[in-house]
Amino acid sequence: MDVDSPESIILGRTGSGKSALLYKIQSMAQKVVKLDPNDISVRFLEYSDIIQFFCALNINLDLFYKLLWRHVLTVEFLKLRYDIKNEFESRSFIDGLVSKFSRDITKKKALEYFSEWGDRFWLDTDEQLRIITNKLESDTKISIGAKYAGVALSLEGAKKLSDEDRVEIKQRASLVVNGLQIRKLNEVLDLLAEHSFDDPQKRFYILIDQLDEEWAGTETRVRFIRALIEEIKTFRRIRQTKIIAALRKDLLVLVFDMTRDSGFQEEKYESYLLELRWSPKELARLIEMRINEVFKSQYTKQLVNFDDVFPKARKGGGQTAMEFIVERTLRRPRDILQFVNESFAIAADRERISWRSLFAAEAQYSEKRLKSLKEEWVRFTHLLKNRWKSFVA
């Protein structure tokens, strides 16, 4: 939560506690909003005619995706800062900015952007994306001109183009993408850093989870995630704000592999990553906290230690129950808590958990873990296929 620290991307395997960490931040921060990519109309973008038209012409949309994220994140921070909930509050905020900076030439482009979007800042994120995408389509129609007025800006329209027309339209359409208002938004960020987020006592957070889910096709998803990572870096210039995203490590590898360009240097991103790792000691502490929570709510308010419930070490200096449990997990909280829960279920009618109960719990736990591993393997092979396709391309 330190806004001065660059660590913004929580990395970890499934079950390592990424979402739990975001939940903890959300419960502690005063000014915070959580975004779910499932609530953002990325599938609408993916299947919109204009996006399919651009993809069919092999036009790089990375800048467009960055613009989308920058706009969305800017609007969400403004909503947090000024508590904008409707059109009137949105317009009042813009009028205040204009009256204060109208004579400042350096703020001109930022004010132009605010004036253009001022009455729509309060809209939902998906509606914002639809408006931007529609503008991309209208700007493209203007760019290709009357000569291609009859060309449908869709996947089918792109397929009908001759090679000569395809080259010319691609050049004109590429100019539209390259001419997007990303520079105006640069000045917007400078203005926000100077005017809106200059109080060191106030901190604002945007949390982003569920990036691992299938909220869009793989190609679109990795492009969107890469654009988000770049914008997380960009927003570091607004000191009192922080964007924190949770991401599986294997998905980050795929993102970098599929979006890698000639000047890409992975080490430049290391300072932004916070990788979750759990030691046996930390996992043991987690188990004790879970045991205390169970017993406090059901049996006693006194502190209950691990050894009060689980069996003693085997005779002859053998393995302890804690070592037995940790050894059968991948050192992830989800695994170890599942094992403990299975142990409680097996020995529910007994005073203590015996080694026999522990072995029986291992069988139940292992069966469920095998099922989970199959699901993880399917997901991994799917990612591997996409990485191979990217490599071949």
Q: 118-142: per-residue pLDDT in tens? A: 666 666 777 777 788 888 888 888 8
pLDDT band at residue 189, thresholds of 50, 70 and 90?
A: confident
- The residues with which 31 forms a beta bridge, in sequence order, are 204
Average pLDDT score over residue span 70-84? 86
Q: Report the distance separating Cα 111 and Cα 100, nearest Å.
A: 10
C-alpha 51/C-alpha 57 separation (Å) is 10
DSSP β-ladder status, 31-35 and 204-208: parallel
Say what the pLDDT of residue 386 is. 65
> Where is average pLDDT lowest: 22-26, 52-56, 107-111, 249-253?
107-111
Which residue has better confidence, 350 or 43? 350
CB atoms within 10 A of CB 348: 9
Q: Do the Cβ atoms of 241 and 77 come closer than 8 Å? A: yes
| Cα–Cα distance, 165 to 230 (Å, whole number) | 34
- Between residues 331 and 90, the one the model is more confident about: 331
Segment 333-357 shows an average pLDDT of: 89
Check whether 345 has a pLDDT greater than 80: yes
Q: Which of 14-18, 40-44, 348-352, 353-357 has the lowest mean pLDDT?
A: 40-44
Q: CA–CA separation, 154 vs 56, rounded Å?
A: 9
Of the listed ranges 52-61, 293-302, 336-345, 383-392, the one predicted with least confidence: 383-392
- Residue 54 has a pLDDT of 85
Task: Identify which of 76-80, 213-217, 388-392 has the greatest average pLDDT.
Answer: 76-80
- Answer whether 232's CB lies under 8 Å from 274's CB: no
